[in-house]
Amino acid sequence: MKQAVDIGVIREDVRIPCDNVELRAALDVPQHARGLILFAHGSGSSRLSPRNKLVAGMLRDAGFGSLLMDLLSPREDRMQRTRFDVDLLTRRLESACQWAHSNPRIASLPVGLFGASTGAAAAIRVAAMPDSHIAAVVSRGGRPDLAGRDALGALTAPTLLIVGGFDTGVIALNEAAEGNMRCETRLEIVSGATHLFEEPGTLEEAAALACAWFLRHLPPSGPRSSLTPSMPSALPSS
């Protein structure tokens, strides 16, 4: 049985410096946490999205902490070119991982990544970095194909791809991406779901699949990432 790390309850808004901007984030870690899941949202989403909060709440009930963050500023999220700038999203997510690994209150927690839409591509790229020590990745309605063949082939973290049954174009893209992966991977199709999983019960089903994947693959206590922290500690959010 996997052990949980003895940690007090943490629930606060933080700001993580990166690229001359501050990424606004919500950190929520239950007592005796099993691990920390970082959310990489896609375009048009945010840390305040009810869908993201629902998934984070189900992960919390399973014993995982969450870091919900906005990888783009409001201005950047209004621009098509930044919404699909996977290099930018990857750099921002990498900085958030560095911050988590350098924060003494949560540094001992194993880390998983939950990516949606273009955020899934960034999650795969970060997890594929040498010595990143990301324990597992989940993509929901994601575009793992945008991570590129090199990252897909280098990925070693067990990766779950969740796609809605009515999201036919994205199913094909996920199948193609899965064909380029060498790590443990599984593609789950949620019946009756479209791209945003807005149909009754479909998002809960996707979240349950994510919980089961992280419970299976996050170790009892995670190794410290060798990603060199290059950012100062997050500033309290005003």
Query: d(Cα 90, Cα 33) in Å, to the nearest integer?
Result: 26
Report the pLDDT value the prediction gives residue 232, as an integer from 0 to 100: 35
- CB-based contact 40:120 (threshold 8 Å): yes
Domain boundaries, the chain: 10-221
What is the per-residue pLDDT for 174? 98
**CA separation for the pair 234, 14 (Å, rounded):** 6
How far apart CA 173 and CA 225 sit, in angstroms, is 30
**DSSP 3-state of 66:** strand
| pTM, to two decimals | 0.88
Q: What is the pLDDT of residues 48-83, one digit of tens each?
A: 788 889 999 999 999 999 999 989 877 877 777 777
Q: Which CATH class is domain 10-221?
A: alpha beta
* Average pLDDT of the chain to the nearest whole number: 88
The pLDDT, as a whole number, for residue 44 is: 56
* DSSP character at residue 229: P
Tell which residue, 31, 34, 43, 24, has the closest CA to residue 3: 34
- Provide mean pLDDT across the span 194-221: 93
Higher pLDDT, 5 or 39: 39
Tell me the average pLDDT across 176-200: 97
Contact 228, 98 (CB under 8 A): yes
Question: Residue 225: which pLDDT band, with cuts at 50, 70 and 90?
Answer: very low
Helix, strand or coil, per DSSP, at residue 202: helix
pLDDT digits (tens, 9 = 90+) for 153-187: 999 999 999 999 999 999 999 999 999 999 999 99
Flag whether pLDDT at 93 surpasses 90: yes
pLDDT at 1: 43
Residue 45 confidence (pLDDT)? 59
Q: Kindly tell me if the per-residue pLDDT of 227 is higher than 60.
A: no
User: For the segment 106-155, what is each residue's pLDDT rounded down to a tens digit?
Assistant: 999 999 999 999 999 999 999 999 988 899 999 999 999 999 999 999 99
Q: Which two tokens stand for residue 126?
A: 């970060």
